[in-house]
Amino acid sequence: MHDDAANHLAFERARLVLPGGVNSPVRAYGSVGGDPRFVSSASGPYIRDVTGTEYVDLVCSWGPALLGHAHPAVVEAVQEAAARGLSFGAPTLGEVELAEEIRRRVPAAEHVRLVSTGTEATMTAVRLARGATGRPLIVKFAGCYHGHVDSLLAEAGSGVANQALPGSAGVTEATASETLVLPYNDLEAVEQAFAERGSEIAAVITEAAPANMGIVPPLPGFNEGLRRITTAHGALLIFDEVLTGFRVSASGWWGYETSTLGASYTPDLFTFGKVVGGGMPVAAIGGPSVLMDLLAPLGPVYQAGTLSGNPVAVAAGRATLAAADASVYARVDEVSTTIADATSAALSAEGVAHRVQRSGNLFSVMFGDLAQEVGTRSYAQVQASDTFRYPPFFHAMLDAGVNLPPSVYEAWFVSAAHDDTAVGRVLDALPGAAKAAAAARR
């Protein structure tokens, strides 16, 4: 492991003006150690840092770069939009066209409200659920991340249906008490929570396929079970597809699970982000018109944003979705399978107990005997895994020119731009990284 001088100096400079030297915590390499790479440019499957060193990128801006970095059609659309004006604070046809494309891909999103961030989308969905039901409580699952909304930054208290304790300084106990945190993939716990507090629960919010505690796929029938329970108690089901939406399939995880895995259910509300903006700050809430029209100006649930539906940002989103055809998803699926299988083979060759967990074309590595034997199905099991093996694995890949997520709790992403050359560089780096993981000690 080594830190070159240019990145180190950039990090030191950043720490003089930015808290922790970053504008989003995971970028600081806190869980893997060392100095973060300061990126100067990106193109296709590659990023380059301030030294000019090139890396095959398996972060893809945490998901948005489905087509690869700086895709020509997206760049051209942004340049043309910027030339017409950066922001108007007025309606544009571009935002209508983006909403129409979202509805085309996810017909259950009859009406769409565009916002700027995934956090804003989930915050609005929760407010809308409370406004629609007149109830105060929200159910979420340990390990699922829904942005830095106060009431959703909560850790589980003792007992299945206990009210949550604050998961961040600055979040009051009163705010956290509006959230019930349950173990993921545990329908019995959900049944119990509704048996005890069902008349108070406005909604269950869940990542459609969790990818913020590493990849922890929903067990077969879990999402359908959530739909059954919420319907029985008059609560809403909110699907957080900020990460999975338009990445794991043309219609996100809901589309993947219902069309490919044979599930049959429909959430009440969807939240989208990342891919829907093509790398620009765009997110969205969608659902049936009867619910969505409770938002102002038609209804009593207030939401607003000066930059919502920004013309430059929606141009990037429209161009990304326009280019994301069947061949794009087929290539992303193919590359993710190749890299996931090769990662598992390299670790197995070194005798490292592990499991590469997958949700469609999203994947991540879980280390340890339990993971290998039965997989990790909840946040508690993820926390109990051999996470100490990831930092040396990460740095060995980085030294070999492959940029992985700087946390074992994050998903790996590929793009349609990852050609055979880029994939080959990843495969070449894996044996050395597997040796580093095997040699790791607590």
Query: Any idea which residues carry the catalytic annotation?
Result: 145, 240, 274
d(CA 296, CA 141): 29
Is 270 within 8 Å of 232 (Cβ atoms)?
no
- Per-residue burial over 133-156, b = 16 or more CB atoms within 10 Å of its CB, e = otherwise: bebebbbbbbbbbbbbbbbbbbeb
Is 122 within 8 Å of 149 (Cβ atoms)?
yes
Q: Tokens at residue 375, please?
A: 């997989």
> Can you tell me whether residue 357 is helix, strand or coil?
strand
Which helix (H) or strand (E) covers residue 201, if one does? strand 201-207
CA dihedral 78, 333, 184, 58 (to 10 degrees): -60
Cα separations in angstroms, 422 against 190, 201, 214, 394, 417:
44, 48, 23, 17, 9
For the CA atoms of the chain, what is the radius of gyration? 21
d(CA 61, CA 88): 27
d(CA 356, CA 17): 38
Tokens 């090139």, residue? 54
AA letter at 366: M
Q: Tokens at residue 107, please?
A: 């017909």
